[in-house]
């Protein structure tokens, strides 16, 4: 049975980080084969007005965004103002390489630099490989 692989990016998002310049997080390379799904998870706190938005410049012929969701952190889900996790499921569609960029922004603020940027290079192969 082919399961979904979850990647977790750890980073505490406190109010003090919002005054700082853009922090760019790079994961390196995320490898998929055609038909395989992996999930990228990013810490988020929507009570601050910020959320992760995906840059639409990724190559939709190579990868497909299957879903996007938010879930409060288990041990803080009843605390007002506590954060959680945003998850993005990506599926390999055809062989090739595409960069995926997520920006931590307040969606209604136009022309404002993201507080954080998360970049991943996604390589989709038509052959299965051994996960490490």
Tell me, yes or no, whether 132 lies in a domain.
no
Contacts (Cβ under 8 Å, ≥6 apart) of 15: 48
The pLDDT of residue 130 is: 54
Tell me, yes or no, whether 113 lies in a domain.
yes
The pLDDT of residue 128 is: 72
List, in sequence order, every residue forming a beta bridge with 5; answer none if it has no partner.
Answer: 38
For residues 117 and 105, what is the distance between their CA atoms, to the nearest angstrom?
Answer: 9
Q: Report pTM.
A: 0.75
Tell me, yes or no, whether 70 lies in a domain.
yes
Tell me, yes or no, whether 130 lies in a domain.
no
The candidate with the shortest Cα–Cα distance to 107, out of 64, 59, 52, is: 52
Tell me, yes or no, whether 59 lies in a domain.
yes
Q: Give me the tens of pLDDT residue by residue for the chain, a chain 132 residues long.
A: 444 444 444 333 333 333 344 666 767 789 999 999 999 999 999 889 999 999 989 999 999 999 999 998 877 767 777 889 999 999 999 999 999 999 999 999 998 999 999 999 999 998 776 555
CATH code for the domain of 66: 2.60.40.2020
Tell me, yes or no, whether 71 lies in a domain.
yes
Tell me, yes or no, whether 21 lies in a domain.
yes
Domain that holds residue 87: 5-125
Tell me, yes or no, whether 73 lies in a domain.
yes
Contacts (Cβ under 8 Å, ≥6 apart) of 104: 13, 42, 44, 50, 51, 52, 53, 114, 115, 116, 117, 118
Number of domains, the chain: 1
For residues 34 and 108, what is the distance between their CA atoms, to the nearest angstrom?
Answer: 35
The pLDDT of residue 33 is: 93
């Amino acid at each position: 049975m082919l399961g979904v692989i979850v990647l977790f990016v750890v980073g505490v998002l406190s109010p003090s980080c919002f005054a700082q310049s853009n922090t760019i997080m790079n994961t390196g390379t995320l490898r998929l084969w055609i038909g395989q799904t992996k999930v990228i998870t990013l810490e988020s706190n929507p009570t601050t007005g910020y959320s992760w938005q995906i840059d639409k410049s990724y190559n939709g012929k190579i990868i497909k965004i299957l879903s996007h969701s938010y879930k409060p952190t288990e041990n803080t889900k009843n605390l007002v103002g506590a954060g959680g996790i945003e998850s993005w499921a990506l599926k390999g569609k055809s062989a090739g390489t595409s960069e995926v960029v997520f920006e931590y922004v307040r969606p209604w603020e136009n022309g404002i630099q993201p507080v954080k940027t998360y970049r991943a290079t996604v390589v989709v192969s038509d052959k299965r490989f051994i996960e490490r």
